[in-house]
Structure 1
Amino acid sequence: MSQIIPAPSRPASPRGLLSRLCAVAVIGLVCAGLGACSGEQFQKGYILPQGALEQIPIGASQDQVLIVLGTPSTVATLDGEVFYYISQRTSRPVAFMNQSVIDQRVIAVYFDKNRQVRRLANYGMKDGKIFDFISRTTPTSGQEMSYLTPLFKLLSFN
């Protein structure tokens, strides 16, 4: 009968063990690095609660607006008072890249002299132009005069 004699086992060399540990460490770092590169989204400014604009009818008081929407981002007091709620949403596909703007919103609540809601507007970006999402209108240029208009009129030879 033949007997199989096992080969003497060799202890793992420190060099082989070190190279395996380095390989595992490199794989772990690559996986952690790729996990950190996933896309992110950021919300800056005011976050509009779901269904909040429907709770503010025309004619509502200024106090009711403050209860529903909270403190505005800024206030204007020209021809009555206007509350502005400003927000911006940005994203970046990879952690180390610059952020790009996905959406910008300005919710404007216009009040009359009696401090009651006269009009609501939800301005945003649509195709690179300011757009009112409530009335579905885009402002058009009218007879605004810049400081260059009189200069061009003087230089024209008509």
Structure 2
Amino acid sequence: MFALLVLGLSACNPTLRNHGYIPTEDKPQAVDPSTDTKASVLARLGNPSVKSTFDENTWYYLTSVRQRLAYLRPITEARSITAISFNQDGQVQKVAEYGIENGQYVNYSDRETPTRGRELSVLEQIFGTIGRIPIDQLGGNQNIPGGSGGPGGGR
């Protein structure tokens, strides 16, 4: 009975998981703006986690540690974001460090964008095309689903 209790409690130990960039030797914070270039940063740190969307001259190295306890939702315990900005010549211009305390929560909207036109019921969608295709177009060589239509089809 004691063994079952110990096994049951050991299943509740928190599990830590690393996500993102895991530095092996050099850390992104060690980049020196006076000497490093894109090539030297790439050689030392490898590919960035993310490049800036609108400006290819900013690279981001992201690291996070998440803790999961049994069936509960994981909690982010630590996050490190290193932003490395380069000038037009490829020289490191600035290195900025951000942590979990700099993050912001974003509430997602569950609204849907309305579409123009009228709303069709399921039955209208299924039976809506009955009677719309003239009988003479069902000869097999017209531009209908399953036909041999298309520009110059079958001619």
TM-score between both structures, scaled by the size of structure 1: 0.56
Residue ranges of structure 1 left out of the alignment (5+ in a row): 1-25, 131-158
1:98 to 2:73 alignment: yes
The answer as to whether partners of 1:106 and 1:122 remain within 8 angstroms in 2 is yes
CA distance in 1, matches of 2:94, 2:25: 19
Give 3-state SS (helix, strand or coil) of 2:76's partner. Answer: strand
More helix per residue: 1 or 2?
1
Deviations 1:79-133 (A, max 9, x none): 56111111221113x322221111222111100000110000111122xx34xxx
Determine the C-alpha separation between the residues in 2 that align with 1:53 and 1:85: 7
Gaps of at least 5 residues in structure 2 are 104-155
The residue type equivalent to 2:11 in the other structure is A
Alignment of 1:10-25 (within 5 A): none
Aligned-residue CA RMSD (Å): 2.4
Percent identical across equivalent pairs? 26
Q: Report if the CA contact (8 A) 2:28-2:61 is conserved.
A: no
Tell me by how many angstroms 1:40 deviates.
1.6
Within 5 Å, which residues of 2 pair with 1:37-56?
Answer: 37-49=12-24, 51-53=26-28, 55-56=30-31
Q: Secondary structure at the match of 2:17?
A: strand
1:107 maps onto 2:82 in alignment: yes
Say how many residue pairs are matched.
103
Whole-Å Cα distance in 1 between the matches of residues 30 and 21 of structure 2? 17
1:76–1:91 Cα change, 3 Å:
same
TM-score (norm 2): 0.57
1:53-64 map, 5 Å: 53=28, 55-59=30-34, 60-64=36-40
SS of residue paired to 2:72: coil
SS at match of 1:38: coil
Tell me the residue number matched to 1:82.
58
Report the residue type matching 1:84 in the other structure: Y
Say if 1:112 and 1:77 are closer, same or farther in 2 by CA, change over 3 A. farther
